[in-house]
């Protein structure tokens, strides 16, 4: 009570309190307006979609669960033989994981090299940094699916197209993250090495890399999880792996095979998530140092 009395008696505190209350009312009003605008956009979008589909949009919603129900029914009908179907797709899962691992290693190595040249605190030549950053932008600009589609047309339906596509995008994504880590590094070790005549490469190797390597590895393991999913998707354009098999069985509506591949993909992502978490803790530890 005494604190409230002090607030009400002090003009400056009362003014701050009134301003805070006014800001809170405005924020609530803006939030309500935003919700109304979003609701109008969503309803308008549904109406446009309904007209574009000649009124079948809402009618199709009632059949939304028919396809999942068909997959579950087909899987149940396969009985114990479903596990043999799952085992039969294991080689394609291994191929998908191999694509992800190889592309991640290539993207990690080239992205790390590119990040040192693209860091403003490590390179004085602003033109060079600008050019390296634009190269990173180009690598990230094209989705893996588009790159793989072009490479499949050039190289044919081969996993090599998936490796190049995923690695190309990984270089840009990891180089961007790595360069931001580099720019937050402590420059005192670099200045010390520079004062005794160390070359630029020696400054990066012994002054910067020990500081940034834990974050590099953490980002690299996270990217591996992403690349497993990307490698599976690229199979839809003929780049091999489990995605190519999924496209075939979806086209032929083999329900038991579809569920087997989906279960394998989910299990692989969960397994890699746990494995990468364990690797991060083993390599980096709780202190974040190697």
Tokens found for residue 77: 């009908």
What is the percentage of the chain residues whose pLDDT exceeds 70? Answer: 91
Which residues fall within 8 angstroms of residue 223, CB to CB, at 6 or more apart?
Answer: 104, 107, 108, 170, 173, 174
* pLDDT greater than 70 at residue 159: yes
pLDDT of residue 1: 52
Tokens found for residue 109: 């190595």
pLDDT of residue 116: 92
pLDDT of residue 134: 92
Q: Domain coordinates of the chain in residue numbers?
A: 1-58, 78-284
pLDDT of residue 112: 93
Higher-pLDDT residue of 78 and 104 is: 104
- Cβ atoms of 202 and 229 within 8 Å: the answer is no
Higher-pLDDT residue of 125 and 64 is: 125
Which residues fall within 8 angstroms of residue 181, CB to CB, at 6 or more apart?
Answer: 115, 212, 215, 216, 219
Q: What is the pLDDT of residues 17-38, one digit of tens each?
A: 888 888 888 888 888 999 999 9
The least confident of 107-111, 150-154, 236-240 is 236-240
Exposure b/e, 191-215, CB count within 10 A at least 16 = b:
eebeeeebeeeebbeebbeebbbbb
Q: What is the pLDDT of residues 180-212, one digit of tens each?
A: 999 988 899 999 988 888 899 999 999 999 889
pLDDT of residue 59: 66
pLDDT of residue 103: 93
* pLDDT greater than 90 at residue 271: no
Tokens found for residue 141: 């600009």
Which residues fall within 8 angstroms of residue 137, CB to CB, at 6 or more apart?
Answer: 172
Q: What is the mean pLDDT of residues 258-284?
A: 82
Q: What is the mean pLDDT of residues 93-118?
A: 92
pLDDT of residue 148: 87
Q: What is the mean pLDDT of residues 110-127?
A: 91
Could you tell me which CATH number the domain at 78-284 has? 1.10.3720.10
- Indicate the pTM of the whole model: 0.73
* pLDDT greater than 90 at residue 168: yes
- C-alpha 170/C-alpha 190 separation (Å) is 28
Q: What is the pLDDT of residues 77-94, one digit of tens each?
A: 888 889 999 999 999 889
Of the pLDDT bands very low, low, confident and very high (cuts 50, 70, 90), residue 218 is confident
Average pLDDT, rounded, for the chain = 84
CA max distance for the chain: 81
pLDDT of residue 277: 77
Q: What is the pLDDT of residues 43-57, one digit of tens each?
A: 888 777 777 765 566
Q: What is the mean pLDDT of residues 159-165?
A: 89
- C-alpha 159/C-alpha 95 separation (Å) is 8
* pLDDT greater than 60 at residue 286: no
pLDDT of residue 290: 47
Of the pLDDT bands very low, low, confident and very high (cuts 50, 70, 90), residue 64 is confident
């Amino acid at each position: 009570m005494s604190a409230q009395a002090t607030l009400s008696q002090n003009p400056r505190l009362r003014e701050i309190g009134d301003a805070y209350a006014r800001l809170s009312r405005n924020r609530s009003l803006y939030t309500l307006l935003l919700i109304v605008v979003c609701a109008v956009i969503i309803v308008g979008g549904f109406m446009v979609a309904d007209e574009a589909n000649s009124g079948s949009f809402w009618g199709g919603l009632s059949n939304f669960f028919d396809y999942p129900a068909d997959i579950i029914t087909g899987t149940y009908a396969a009985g114990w033989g479903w596990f043999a179907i799952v085992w039969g797709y294991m080689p394609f899962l291994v191929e998908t994981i191999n694509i992800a691992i190889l592309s991640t290693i290539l993207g990690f190595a080239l992205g790390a090299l590119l990040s040192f040249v693209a860091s403003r605190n490590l390179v004085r030549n602003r033109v060079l940094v600008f050019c390296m950053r634009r190269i990173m932008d180009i690598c990230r600009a094209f989705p893996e699916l588009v790159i793989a589609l072009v490479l499949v047309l050039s190289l044919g339906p081969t996993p090599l197209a998936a490796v190049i596509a995923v690695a190309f995008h990984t270089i840009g994504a990891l180089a961007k993250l790595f360069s931001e880590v580099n720019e937050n590094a402590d420059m005192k070790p670099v200045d010390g090495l520079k004062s005794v005549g160390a070359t630029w490469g020696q400054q990066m190797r012994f002054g910067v890399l020990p500081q940034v390597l834990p974050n590099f590895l953490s980002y690299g393991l996270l990217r591996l999880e992403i690349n497993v999913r990307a490698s599976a998707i690229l199979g839809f354009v003929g780049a091999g792996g489990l995605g190519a098999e999924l496209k075939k069985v979806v086209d032929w509506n083999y329900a038991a095979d579809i569920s087997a591949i989906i279960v394998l993909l989910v299990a692989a992502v969960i397994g890699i998530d746990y494995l990468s978490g364990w690797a991060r803790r083993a390599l980096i530890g709780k202190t974040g140092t190697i």
